[in-house]
């Protein structure tokens, strides 16, 4: 109704309906995971898909809202005759050049394609490839299997034993022992994170793009060369970056906020969803991920200032600081904190009592 009659559409009612819809899409799966207590892996997978769908629906509603306003302004300027001529001679969802025009994009087929496409930002016409290269589909599928197996092997053989032995020094606040576990965890966690990045952003998204003949395959840029944290966040996850800029950052600027205020709200929004993806599946609210995301804000300012110092820039100080922070403080610390709290939460208090032989009842050697 809103698309076929944009002039007389009541935007308040339309946006209220979109708000209720997107809110239910986010709230219902969150409540299901919280109250049904599935495993952390299954819960994280469900919420990950939920957040993606939520962001897609927001983008779909926002972009079509802009097109609806543009159609209304065009109609008010006497452009209805031109639109009628276009509709008369095309009479399909596409114009003579094969490009979809509003409101002929409002179809289930168009919506389903956007839901499956490896992007979070909606547009009327996506670039399309001429055909599916099945040899590439097979190659990507094989690499997904190999990389996924390698991630599982590294996690089981090198990460799990380390974090299990870290519970005792954390409970005793043994800083030397905690530091030792962090050092041991740094290398395998860095490898796992890089492999997961390669698995999802390069292999999986390209596989989906190939099957859908989706032409825009730039999912990341050279974030590993970032000299500031602002540069890293702009390069490492382009689908999310484009969504944040299109649907959050620029609307906040148009609403009258300053750049610093808009950036603060963008990081806060990101922090909330990072915490949602971790805390709800593990059924504990600790706000480690939330605090880590907000902690990026001063790092963005500091590294941006340091990058203007010639000596610091020539020595690649920003890139060294980024990798040191990322490899040591970021991933290993988050894994240790969340695992320890989850272990304590899901085990009886006497599971960590030790016998005279020096072996804890959980099977972990006492430090």
Cβ atoms within 10 Å of 33's Cβ, excluding its own: 22
- Does residue 231 register a pLDDT over 50? yes
Cβ atoms within 10 Å of 24's Cβ, excluding its own: 11
Active site residues: 274
96 CB-near residues (< 8 Å, 6+ apart): 89, 90
**Residue in 334, 343, 342, 324 with CA at minimum distance from that of residue 289:** 334
275 CB-near residues (< 8 Å, 6+ apart): 285, 287, 288, 289, 290, 293
Would you say 106 and 3 are in contact if contact means Cβ atoms under 8 Å apart?
A: yes
Confidence of residue 75 (pLDDT cuts 50, 70, 90): low
Query: What pLDDT, on the 0 to 100 scale, is given for residue 5?
Result: 53
- Does residue 178 register a pLDDT over 50? yes
Coil/strand/helix, residue 284: coil
pLDDT digits 0-9 by tens, 292-338: 888 888 888 888 888 888 888 777 888 888 888 888 877 788 888 88
Query: What pLDDT, on the 0 to 100 scale, is given for residue 319?
Result: 86
In the chain, the percentage of residues whose pLDDT exceeds 70 is 85
Higher local confidence (pLDDT), 67 or 354: 67
Mean pLDDT of 259-272: 90
- Does residue 258 register a pLDDT over 60? yes
Average pLDDT, the chain: 82
For the chain, the structural domain boundaries read 6-116, 151-352
- Does residue 21 register a pLDDT over 80? yes
Question: How many CA atoms, within 13 angstroms, populate the side-chain half-sphere of residue 47?
Answer: 26
Query: What pLDDT, on the 0 to 100 scale, is given for residue 291?
Result: 84
**Residue in 144, 322, 123 with CA at minimum distance from that of residue 222:** 322
Distance of CA 152 to the CA centre of its chain: 21
Query: What pLDDT, on the 0 to 100 scale, is given for residue 74?
Result: 66
Confidence of residue 87 (pLDDT cuts 50, 70, 90): very low
- Does residue 84 register a pLDDT over 60? no
pLDDT digits 0-9 by tens, 109-160: 999 999 999 999 999 889 999 999 999 999 999 999 999 999 999 988 888 8
**pTM as predicted:** 0.81
Query: What pLDDT, on the 0 to 100 scale, is given for residue 137?
Result: 95
């Amino acid at each position: 109704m809103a698309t076929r009659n944009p002039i007389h559409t009541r935007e308040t009612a339309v946006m209220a309906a979109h708000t209720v819809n997107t809110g239910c899409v986010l709230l219902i799966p969150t409540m299901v995971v919280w109250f049904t207590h599935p495993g952390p892996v299954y819960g994280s997978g469900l919420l990950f898909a939920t957040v993606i769908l939520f962001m897609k629906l927001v983008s779909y509603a926002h972009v079509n809202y802009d097109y609806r306003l543009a159609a209304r302004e065009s109609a008010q300027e006497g452009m209805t005759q031109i639109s009628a001529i276009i509709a008369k001679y095309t009479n399909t969802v596409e114009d003579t050049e094969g490009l979809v025009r509003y409101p002929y994009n409002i179809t289930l087929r168009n919506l389903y394609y956007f839901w499956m496409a490896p992007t979070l930002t909606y547009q009327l016409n996506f670039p399309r490839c001429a055909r599916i290269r099945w040899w590439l589909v097979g190659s990507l599928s094989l690499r997904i299997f190999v990389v996924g197996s390698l991630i599982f092997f590294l996690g089981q053989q090198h990460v799990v034993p380390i974090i299990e032995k870290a519970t005792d020094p954390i409970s005793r606040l043994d800083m030397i022992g905690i530091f030792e576990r962090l050092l041991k965890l740094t290398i395998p966690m860095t490898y796992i994170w890089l492999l997961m990045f390669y698995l999802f952003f390069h292999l999986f998204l390209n596989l989906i793009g190939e099957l859908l003949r989706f032409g825009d395959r730039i999912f990341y840029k050279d974030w590993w060369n970032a000299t500031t944290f602002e540069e890293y966040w702009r390069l490492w996850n382009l689908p999310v970056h484009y969504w944040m800029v299109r649907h959050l950052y620029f609307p906040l600027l148009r609403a009258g906020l300053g750049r610093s205020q808009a950036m603060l709200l963008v990081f806060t929004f990101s922090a909330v969803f990072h915490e949602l993806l971790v805390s709800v599946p593990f059924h504990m609210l600790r706000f480690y991920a939330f605090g880590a995301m907000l902690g990026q804000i001063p790092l963005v300012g500091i590294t941006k200032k340091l990058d203007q110092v010639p000596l610091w820039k020539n020595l690649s100080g920003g890139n060294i600081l980024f990798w040191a922070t990322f490899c040591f403080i970021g991933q290993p610390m988050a894994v240790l904190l969340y695992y320890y709290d989850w272990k304590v939460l899901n085990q009886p208090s006497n599971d960590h009592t030790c016998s005279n032989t020096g072996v804890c009842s959980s099977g972990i050697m006492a430090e």
